[in-house]
Chains A and B, each alone.
Chain A
């Protein structure tokens, strides 16, 4: 682990209600990389994110953040109470008020130029996640933290969302730390995958991890399909994998992906 890390955990142990949820986790996120934490339900993924964000204290070990690190956070679930009226434009100005031009640019960036005056409650699942991402980007963070950002999206929606993350990273150089419990498209969008099950089981590039025995032990037989899909999307070979023939053309063609569902000059 080098010193250029944006954020690092050293031998991090977190105990909740006397249960050790995370033990001896050591990791570092460097500028511009996309890291995905993969693990089954209850493996401590969200706990790890919350500890990295400073919401949960470390029982042992420590979390260090680069001084002045700006973090853009996209929470797992954001249930806006029905009693709270909130337009998309107003939401983007939380917690810090932003200029109209910046808000419009952020919405255009995530492919939703026309939703500013809509109520948050009226957005579709995919639109909602994109607005959360737009809000997180407005503070111009060096690190984006996303907790299961595609929960509730269908597979094309999921693929489009991860493509968007990749584009944002390419344009801004932001580092991305994501959490996921599914293996599908997320692997294709990552530089590095960390398998978590209370502790770090294995880590490496998606290709390396997907063949690691620890990974297979954790995810069982579903692995084959996921790997097939991963290769399918990346290599654009139609013969692999039966499930999720999700827009194979769009998957490798970013211009097509951008114009999917909305108009965007």
Chain B
């Protein structure tokens, strides 16, 4: 993409909103690639929905109390993720439970936001993201969060994979599957908190699932799938930004649309290769 880098004294590359937007998308992909792979492997798609929809409630909380938005969304996303994980462990019917929680969280969030003066006008930014308005501070949170999640997943990688395969197997190997579930729950909450600025509460789950799903057909090992999902996520972010720039489309949905096209291409390519 074209970058008009200001060269005047006292300015840096980061002064360009497009550079910041691109860096935000790339940073986020570092976390969403591997985490999204686990979301797909463990069939946690709806879990991601519930957690990210709850983030709107976090936005309302932050705006009402004057807390930073990242803190508000992190707290509420974490509360939702822990609630869902606890109910799942108790054997609730997850499909229905998650459906109730995801949509209730969104509805309550939207109602709560309407009580906060001024927030109503920004609503679409929280729902669909506002990557072009990413500040330096936002960029710091996004990269900090992404590196944290990536580090957490890398540290627990073998244990996470074993627990994902079979919890009894993990248990018999001296691992604690409940702890590994908690690792993913934490990682999901962090990603939701930093991603809301980029693609918005409604599309975070899409950014987790679609690149990973696109990577599946082209991968032979879990690692190659996670890596490919990261690359697809990064490519989608850049392509979506470019589209947004050319056609003045909303950036968040454009990124997801680009990811969806990548998924379709990957599915067609995978089918052709097999036949």
Contacts and interface: CB of A to CB of B under 8 A. Distances in A.
A94 interface: yes
Nearest to A90: B221
A75 interface: yes
Nearest to B162: A95
Interface string B209-245: 0000100100111111100000000000000000000
A55 B171 contact: yes
Q: Which of A50, A78, A95 has the most chain B CB atoms inside 10 A of its CB?
A: A95
A252 B219 CA distance: 43
B168 interface: yes
Contacts of B40: 83
Contacts of B216: 83, 85
Contact of B172 (A55, A83, A84, A91): A55
A81 B37 CA distance: 12
Interface residues of A, number: 25
B172 A94 contact: no
A73 B159 CA distance: 16
B221 A73 contact: no
Contact of B168 (A50, A85, A90): A50
A81 B43 contact: yes
B266 interface: no
B119 interface: no
Nearest to A55: B171
Interface in B166-211: 166, 168-173, 175
B41 A83 contact: yes
B224 A78 contact: no
B2 interface: no
Contacts of A134: none
Contacts of B12: none
A54 B171 contact: yes
B166 A53 contact: no
A192 to B, nearest CB: 22
Contacts of B268: none
Interface in B1-51: 40-43
Contacts of B175: 95
B172 A81 contact: no
Interface in A10-62: 50, 53-55
B220 A145 contact: no
A50 B167 CA distance: 11
A80 B166 CA distance: 8
Nearest to A132: B169
Contacts of B162: 94-95
Interface string B140-176: 0000000000000000001101101110111111010
A4 to B, nearest CB: 22
Contacts of A78: 165-166, 169
Interface of A: 50, 53-55, 71, 73, 75, 78, 80-81, 83-87, 90-91, 93-97, 119, 139, 145
Given A87-B221, A96-B158, 18 more contacts: A50-B168, A55-B168, A55-B172, A75-B166, A75-B169, A81-B42, A83-B40, A83-B43, A84-B165, A84-B222, A85-B222, A86-B221, A86-B222, A87-B220, A91-B165, A95-B161, A95-B162, A95-B170
23 contacts: A53-B171, A53-B172, A55-B171, A71-B172, A73-B168, A73-B169, A78-B165, A81-B164, A83-B43, A83-B216, A84-B164, A84-B222, A85-B220, A85-B224, A85-B225, A86-B222, A90-B221, A94-B161, A94-B165, A95-B159, A95-B161, A95-B175, A96-B158
